[in-house]
Amino acid sequence: MLLDAAREAAAEAVGCRPDELTFTSSGTRAVHTGIAGALAGRRRVGRHLIVSAVEHSSVLHAAELFEAAGGTVTQVPVDRAGRVQPSAYGDALRADTALACLQSANHEVGTEQPVAEAAEACRAAGVPLLVDAAQSLGWGPVEGDWSLLTASAHKWGGPSGVGLLVVRKGVRFAPQGPVDERESGRAAGFENIPAIVAAAASLRAVRAEAAAEAVRLRELTERIRARVPGLVPDAEVVGDPARRLPGVVTFSCLYVDGEALLHELDREGFSVSSGSSCTSSTLTPSHVLRAMGVLSEGNVRVSLPAGVAEEEVERFLEVLPRVVAGVREKLGAPASEAVVREADALVVDSLGKRCPIPVIELAKVIGDVPVGGLVRVLSDDEAARLDIPAWCEMRNQEYVGEEPADQGTAYLIRRAT
């Protein structure tokens, strides 16, 4: 009875029938089960999958596995705001497309996606669209005629260990892996009843406050968006300025080590995230920032929890300029002996140096060549591939391109101003 009541409450919040909704053990599990089941259900149609380039890693991991098993995957690109073109999903559809996946909003930069348009194009072609609604379900139902939907309770402030998978009636779905009689054969194992009940109750509670809290948080994140560029020199706010989640704001700071910045902010009592390469175990920048083509160094993602006090945001804005300046000072003057003049280009040897050093060294020497002159930065840091072009765009310099070097990669920049 508790499970039935929780299912009804969650289905009402999603806007689906209770028997279309199953509880899984996490949002990741909902995504994996949903994608595998939908692809298998339409195996006869074909083995083509469409995803956006900025989906959550759980979607991209499922896509990688599908590709490794012989499927074909189309990644739909995004603009500099992190948004897919509304027409892009329609354009990517093929006769053998089994499934398309699109997030409702991005988890790193908060940009909302044109889900309703993508769903309409998919529906017209008879292709199911799976919407990863992890970021937005607490704020409201997902609009449009989607076919499958996934979400995660801890993202709306509920407990860990509960995900949602919704499969609309009429969608072909063949669950993969061993199943039992629980959750329509879509989530095997003993149901985590206490957590499921808490998940449904918290979704209902969060939704009751959502409209008012969205207005309040949107004003606070707008404050950060508007004031950071003035408070912090060489900072770039990323993500769509209008079509975005209420509580997320992301920006990047040139010449800053993301790891050090997070550490210093943590000492000041602020827990933020980062998509910078130096804060990830793989030493590569976030795939989202990469797909957007924006600066990844010194990247900071601020997620305001519901109920956060205005004073906390003001204190963050007060502390931030000092913290960034401190980190920049510590990175200090780069080794100038790394710079040699070669043919008609100034060569900066940043081999073995990690983000943000290559960009700092580039910035230091660009004034040393005449307008029209070339700088050649040698780097073996993967982040440089993203951050040097992004720096050029921010600084109105011309990014010429890259070429393989004896070690690492050479990036060519022409001084334009």
- Using alpha carbons, select from 393, 380, 377, 358 the residue that is nearest to residue 284: 380
Interaction of residue 401 with a copy of itself, rule CB under 8 A:
no
Interaction of residue 36 with a copy of itself, rule CB under 8 A:
yes
For residues 119-178, which are near a copy of itself according to CB under 8 A? 152, 154, 159-161, 163, 177-178
- Shortest distance in whole angstroms from residue 155 CB to a copy of itself: 9
- Give me the residues paired with residue 48 across strands: 72, 97
Choose one: 119-127, 179-187, 310-318, 398-406; the region binding a copy of itself (CB under 8 A): 179-187
Per CB under 8 A, the list member of 9, 88, 195, 262 interacting with a copy of itself is: 195
Nearer to a copy of itself, 152 or 296 (CB): 152
Angle between helices 357-365 and 384-395 (to 10 degrees): 40
Interaction of residue 72 with a copy of itself, rule CB under 8 A:
no
- Using alpha carbons, select from 139, 130, 212, 190 the residue that is nearest to residue 164: 130
Interaction of residue 378 with a copy of itself, rule CB under 8 A:
no
Radius of gyration of the chain (CA): 23
Interaction of residue 277 with a copy of itself, rule CB under 8 A:
no
Number of Cβ atoms within 10 Å of the Cβ of 68: 8
Contacts of 408 by beta carbon, 8 Å cutoff, 6+ apart? 351, 378, 379, 380, 381
Instruction: Tell me the C-alpha distance between 361 and 333, whole Å.
Output: 9
Interaction of residue 281 with a copy of itself, rule CB under 8 A:
yes
- Shortest distance in whole angstroms from residue 12 CB to a copy of itself: 24
Bridge pairing between strands 97-103 and 129-132 = parallel
Instruction: Tell me the C-alpha distance between 105 and 108, whole Å.
Output: 9
- Using alpha carbons, select from 362, 324, 357 the residue that is nearest to residue 234: 324
Per CB under 8 A, the list member of 26, 72, 75, 85 interacting with a copy of itself is: 26
Nearer to a copy of itself, 39 or 237 (CB): 39
- Using alpha carbons, select from 75, 61, 86 the residue that is nearest to residue 291: 75
Nearer to a copy of itself, 23 or 391 (CB): 23
Interaction of residue 204 with a copy of itself, rule CB under 8 A:
no
Nearer to a copy of itself, 30 or 338 (CB): 30
Interaction of residue 179 with a copy of itself, rule CB under 8 A:
yes
Q: In what order do the strands lie in the sheet with 299-303?
A: 235-238, 248-253, 299-303
Interaction of residue 274 with a copy of itself, rule CB under 8 A:
no
For residues 40-69, which are near a copy of itself according to CB under 8 A? 57-58, 61-62, 64-65
Q: Is 122 annotated as catalytic?
A: no
- Which residues of the shown chain bind a copy of itself in the complex (CB under 8 A)? 25-29, 32, 36, 57-58, 61-62, 64-65, 152, 154, 159-161, 163, 177-181, 188-195, 281-282
Catalytic residues: 278
